[in-house]
Structure 1
Amino acid sequence: MRLTKFTDLALRAVMRLAVADDEEPVTTRAVAEEMAVPHAHMAKVVTRLRHLGVVEARR
């Protein structure tokens, strides 16, 4: 199966958030740095995931 770069980032972001400690929020910038992708790309992914109701996010 082939995934788009966007879908791959979305799946990896959701997996990263699934193992996150609930006590401390995870920033988009931190996730982007851990995955070695540009912050702008990760911000678009998280925005889309938020609109789909997959994650809760705030600015």
Structure 2
Amino acid sequence: MNKKHTNEPNYTKLVMPRQLVLPLDYGMLIKETAPVRLLDAVLEELDYRELQHLYSLSFLHH
């Protein structure tokens, strides 16, 4: 069995009676061919500056 090597820090903490593991990587549960992966890639490329500007202005008017 091949073990995947990562350079990520180990966030596992054992506190009896539970084990806490952070961060949770839900991506490993999603198939590589799932449409949500394409959607994620497209959304990552969008420029949200104008939307953030409009959102911040709405708080000033309330």
TM-score scaled by structure 1?
0.26
* Structure with the largest fraction of strand: 2
Structure label with greater radius of gyration: 2
TM-score scaled by structure 2?
0.25
Which protein, 1 or 2, shows the higher relative CO under an 8 Å CA cutoff with sep ≥ 6?
A: 1
* Structure with the largest fraction of helix: 1
